Amino acid sequence: MVRKASPWLRSLLRAAKIQQRTSARAVKTLLALSKPAAPKKTRVRKAPAKTSVLLAPRVGPAAGMTPSSLAKPSRLRATRPTPHLDPPGRWLSSHFTAPGKHGVLRSMLYWVYVPSLPPQPQGMPLVVMLHGCDQNAISFAQGTRMNELAERKGFAVVYPQQSVASHPHACWKWYDRATQLGGGDVGHIVGIVNSVAATHPIDRSRIYICGLSAGGAMAHIVALNHPGLIAGVGIHSSPLFGAARGAVGAIKVMRHGDAARAGMAIAELFARQPDFPGMPTILIHGEADGVVRPINQSQLELQSLQLNRVPDGTPVEISVKARTTRSNAYQLRDIRLKRNVLLRVVRIAELKHAWSGGNDGIAFNSGFGPDSSQILIDFFARHRRGDAAAIPG
């Protein structure tokens, strides 16, 4: 069915307002996150897939993206918690040192997982993982089980680690204006990526970044400031880009979003980068997230459409697939332009502020719901930064 853009846009904004009113508890302290309680088990029925064609909102002229794939994307699978086993690849730690604020040298710790599989002739993909507050590289790797997936699929993973000297809860400062403009920790993260790519057989056209909560917001900032380096970004339970100004503003955005600043932030980005090439994006969020409320995902969706310069009146196919696991239902929507998936939106019922499908023996992970790590890699597999085209489908 084809509809005008404005009613769809208004409908999306109305849905965001409803989510805002029905979100759970308020945030009591900035980014000092509490461990989520395990969701109740419920049985749900599979819903049939639905497909509709809508007109994109008015956001500006088109800009082509030409990414491709690292491998054929696998089917999504829900997971249950399993005992943590160390995969057989190499698990290495190192530091990256570079001038920080006021030119003072600063080091950032990071961990790298290199799979035991021999790399492809063109090199292996690299996934950058940014942890959330009150996490570190090791707990994030164990909770998401990304290293186990990397071993099976043949990609490397790097985990930069925020220092408690920089933030008492080890939060990335996504709300800092200088960071949003590409300063702060952005330079160190990019330096780590370049160092890993120079040390290991990495395919530079297949470098992706993702994160949870503050880590997801920071991943977004890195991707938008370095679109030539990053081929795709994954944002899990995170606030929108460019709206917060300082700690107080961060709390407001986490609770309520900021529709006005959402569009302005992208316009300002285009003013700084008039040739911005677009950014394939996947958004994952829980319906019951009371720390970063779901309105942020709705506004991130609008930001992504604007970032990819989807022109007014362009038909955009939205495939709605309601899937179920043993406890949590979830909805996956692919927004396509010329058969290429430029945006994937996953909304998970009952999920609080946690990594879906992770090891729930570790804080900020939920064993219920779809496997976020698998979903992210399936999406990244469709995209490559460079002269190759994205895989349709």
According to CATH, what is the number of the domain 45-79+86-380? 3.40.50.1820
Contacts of 253 (CB under 8 A, 6+ apart): 175, 239, 240, 243, 244, 296
Confidence of residue 339 (pLDDT cuts 50, 70, 90): confident
Nearest to 138 by CA among 216, 86, 201, 82: 86
Give the number of other Cβ atoms within 10 Å of residue 275's Cβ.
Answer: 7
Residue 122, strand partner residues: none
The pLDDT, as a whole number, for residue 340 is: 86
Cα(221)–Cα(358) distance, integer angstroms: 24
Cα(112)–Cα(76) distance, integer angstroms: 25
At position 319, the amino acid (one-letter code) is: S
- Beta strands, E only, the chain: 50-55, 90-99, 105-114, 124-130, 156-160, 202-212, 232-236, 281-286, 315-324, 329-337, 340-348, 355-356, 365-366
Give the least confident one: 21-35, 95-109, 112-126, 180-194. Answer: 21-35
Residue ranges of domains in the chain: 45-79+86-380
Give the least confident one: 9-18, 143-152, 165-174. Answer: 9-18
Say yes or no to pLDDT of 112 above 80.
yes
Cα(356)–Cα(286) distance, integer angstroms: 8
At position 122, the amino acid (one-letter code) is: Q
The pLDDT, as a whole number, for residue 222 is: 99
Question: What would the mean pLDDT of 25-31 be, rounded to a whole number?
Answer: 40
The pLDDT, as a whole number, for residue 149 is: 98
The pLDDT, as a whole number, for residue 45 is: 40
Give the number of other Cβ atoms within 10 Å of residue 149's Cβ.
Answer: 19
Q: In what order do the strands lie in the sheet with 156-160?
A: 50-55, 315-324, 329-337, 340-348, 281-286, 232-236, 202-212, 124-130, 156-160, 105-114, 90-99
